[in-house]
Amino acid sequence: MTQVRLKKHSAPLSGTLSFPGDKSLSHRAIIFGSLSEGISSFKNVLSGEDCVCTREAFEAMGVDIKSSSDGTEVVIIGKGLHGLKEPKKELYLGNSGTSMRILSGVLAGQPFKTTLTGDPSLSSRPMKRVTSYLRQMGAVIEGRDDGNFAPLTIKGGKLKPIDVSLAVSSAQVKSAILLAGLYANGTTSVTEPVLSRDHTELFLRYFGANIKQEGLKVSIAGGQTLNAKSFEIPGDISSAAFFMAIAILLKDSAIKFQNILFNETRIGIVKVLERMGAPLMSAGHDKLGRPEMMADFSLMTQKLRGTEVMREELPSLIDEIPILCVLATQAQGKTVIHDADELRVKETDRIDSMITALSLMGAKIKSEKNTILIEGPTPLKGAVVDSRKDHRTAMSLIVAGLIAEGEQTVKDVDCINTSFPTFFKLLDQLKISYQL
């Protein structure tokens, strides 16, 4: 168990930052490269533990994947949709819910049996939201609590198409069903109440699949082929969000951000910051042969005002809610984040972890059922706080420590490596002091 100690940072910050590849895109690059016909190559792949788990799973199923020494440049010799082999042992997916849920869709169409396992945190996260639909398509799935918790054993085979409406928007569930749909005899459709991240739809089109979009309904026909592609993955906006908060909160600071993912379904944090009085400056956008948009922009110190975040906005900023809680403690007035129940089933209960830790620091924060209420601005004081082995909780509490009086200790920060292995290097680049 590693902990970090830090104190309030008073010096102005400036500089230009680049970020590791987006985690969602890195997962999908490995998945789509493995399932494509031909050789794909990707630059700026996230080398965090979650994405390594996805890579190792496909290697265990016979895919030849070569990478640079730091893991950020990857070449994949695709096996096509029907070229995977039965792994010789269980596929261990660590802490990665994305890996387990999306891989379940791929494995549902394979003519072999596979068991997916994970660490204690992943093994406590609900999977029936995926497995119930894959069972409807014809996959045989066994697991604890009738397939709700890992280990999951999936026996794939010939699948039939389904047309489903999700009760809760989820990019992972949608992606699993669409990828399983590639193996179905007919057209599979998914309708969401609110549009979730659309990375899988963009990747499917980019890799040559024909999909149909009608409002909140997306459909895909089985029997298609994916074709190899090569591109550079934009920086992760969910990782950049912690440094966006640093730029806004630390006095007299101005930071430039380069090559950041700017997908419309992922920039909810940008829209909320604008409402709070911290708009991006000099945002330029382009695709340049990629499936996804990216942008350069700047942020500087700003006085914030409270805002309301409605349920329908949450799919576009669900991973940014912990750092938004920190920002809200310094905003004038009340911030309300409505119906954030999805935070209860992340790597930890992020509603409880953030309320517990920020309350120890003196914040006026509470929940009413699954709605978070924060009054500000409130001076924060350093405390000993626990990440609960959740990477986004850990990084949010480190940012909070930079504006708190006294010393802050954040326990269990090894988990940051799951999504942002260069987090501390970027703190070093900005000359922010801390002790591991």
Over residues 157-181, the pLDDT tens digits come to 899 999 999 998 999 999 999 999 9
The verdict on residue 342 lying in a domain is yes
Over residues 335-370, the pLDDT tens digits come to 999 998 888 878 789 999 999 999 999 999 999 999
Claim to verify: residue 16 and residue 33 sit in the same structural domain: no
Claim to verify: residue 245 and residue 386 sit in the same structural domain: yes
Compute φ and ψ for 318, nearest 5 degrees.
Answer: -60, -35
Claim to verify: residue 178 and residue 203 sit in the same structural domain: yes
Claim to verify: residue 278 and residue 161 sit in the same structural domain: no
Residues 100 and 118: beta-carbon distance below 8 Å: yes
Claim to verify: residue 280 and residue 417 sit in the same structural domain: yes
pLDDT over 90 (residue 416):
yes
Q: What is the pLDDT of residue 343?
A: 85
Residue after which a domain boundary falls, among 186, 220, 254: 220
Mean pLDDT of 226-245: 96
Residue 421: how many CB atoms within 10 A of its CB? 18
| Domain ranges, residue 340 | 4-20+234-429
The verdict on residue 15 lying in a domain is yes
Q: What is the pLDDT of residue 202?
A: 96
Claim to verify: residue 379 and residue 400 sit in the same structural domain: yes
The verdict on residue 436 lying in a domain is no
Residue after which a domain boundary falls, among 220, 244, 272: 220
Q: What is the pLDDT of residue 290?
A: 83
Claim to verify: residue 81 and residue 175 sit in the same structural domain: yes
Claim to verify: residue 212 and residue 268 sit in the same structural domain: no
Q: How far apart are CA 352 and CA 120, in angstroms?
A: 18
Q: How far apart are CA 134 and CA 154, in angstroms?
A: 10
In angstroms, the Cα distances linking 106 to 42, 83, 238, 281, 393 are 21, 12, 26, 41, 30
Q: Look up the pTM and report it.
A: 0.90
In angstroms, the Cα distances linking 327 to 124, 305, 365 are 29, 10, 12
Residues 347 and 390: beta-carbon distance below 8 Å: yes
Claim to verify: residue 34 and residue 148 sit in the same structural domain: yes
Claim to verify: residue 282 and residue 208 sit in the same structural domain: no
Claim to verify: residue 11 and residue 32 sit in the same structural domain: no
The verdict on residue 435 lying in a domain is no
Claim to verify: residue 55 and residue 162 sit in the same structural domain: yes
Residues 304 and 327: beta-carbon distance below 8 Å: yes
Q: What is the pLDDT of residue 32?
A: 98
- CATH code of the domain covering residue 85: 3.65.10.10
319 is catalytic: yes
pLDDT over 80 (residue 282):
no
Over residues 311-329, the pLDDT tens digits come to 999 989 999 999 999 999 9
pLDDT over 70 (residue 9):
yes
Number of domains into which the chain is organized: 2
Say which of 50, 198, 319, 412 is annotated catalytic: 319
Residue-averaged pLDDT of the chain: 95
Q: What is the percentage of the chain residues whose pLDDT exceeds 90?
A: 93
Residues 154 and 140: beta-carbon distance below 8 Å: yes
- Indicate the SS3 state at residue 334: strand
